[in-house]
Amino acid sequence: MTATIPAIVERRAIRKYLPQPVPEDLIREILAEARWAPSATNTQTTYAYVLSGETLSKFKADLREYAMEEVPESSDLGPRVPLPELFQARQDELFRTRMQFIQAEEAKLGIKPPDQPVSLPVAMADIFGAPVVVVLAIPRDIGLPYGCFDAGMYAQSLALVAHARGLGTCITGSNVRYPNL
């Protein structure tokens, strides 16, 4: 068996990161390897923007502000359609257990829950404390089906390469709701 199958099976979405910076040369190596991801007719239409330090802090602050002010999501990705019941139930269970975990961890640290619970978009604006975020983007003139498929392939490749190098990742779509950030 090759290393591919264990990498796919062992990789997990990480939702709590250490506050350690990731060396820039390691990020460059990961991006160089992930760029070999397949794409429609080998067009390689996915752009990767690496955010860290002050740039990432500003991005998180802006995400939080937009979420708190309930700024409508961009319509670039088309209308949001309701999830079928089965998938909505899975998502609800994930969010419920995630919030229970967060509350338990905060209780261990002596953090009291706020009087008014924050909404999920506000809570997610911190991006789980990640010290580095790679924002993937596609050009507006690329068709969404191909562009989104290509970006998904790149995201998976990026996550697997990072995993192989000992870094955790969490592929999220919620942090690209506002392309102007």
Q: Supply the mean pLDDT for the chain.
A: 87
Domain ranges of the chain: 4-72+121-176
- Dig out the tokens for 56 from the structure: 């990432």
Give the pLDDT confidence score for residue 79 in this predicted structure: 62
H helix intervals, 11-164: 24-34, 53-68, 85-108, 120-124, 144-164
121 versus 43: which is more confidently predicted?
A: 43
DSSP state of 13: B
If one compares 67 and 164, the residue with the highest pLDDT of the two is 164
- Closest Cα partner for 12 from 119, 123, 159, 110? 159
DSSP 41-76: GG----EEEEEEHHHHHHHHHHHHHHHHTTPPPPST
pLDDT grade for 78, boundaries at 50, 70 and 90:
low
Buried b (16+ CB within 10 A) or exposed e, 103-122: eeeeeeeeeeeeeeeeeebb
Give the pTM. Answer: 0.83
Task: Calculate what percentage of the chain has a pLDDT beyond 90.
Answer: 44
CB 19 within 8 A of CB 131: yes
Tell me which of 26 and 178 has the higher pLDDT. Answer: 26
Homologous superfamily of 4-72+121-176: NADH Oxidase (3.40.109.10)
pLDDT, mean of residues 165-181: 84
Q: What is the mean pLDDT of residues 159-175?
A: 91
Identify the CA nearest to 124 among candidates 133, 136, 111.
Answer: 133
Amino acid 23: pLDDT: 97
Q: Which of 104-108, 116-120, 145-149, 161-165 has the highest mean pLDDT?
A: 161-165
The Cα 75–Cα 139 span in angstroms is 15
**Residue 135, helix vs strand vs coil:** strand
Per-residue pLDDT, 116: 65
Partners of residue 50 on adjacent β-strands: 134
Residue-wise pLDDT for 27-46, tens only, equals 999 999 999 999 998 899 99
pLDDT band with cut points at 50, 70 and 90 for residue 126: confident
- Residues in the chain, how many? 181
Lowest mean pLDDT among 38-42, 74-78, 133-137, 139-143: 74-78
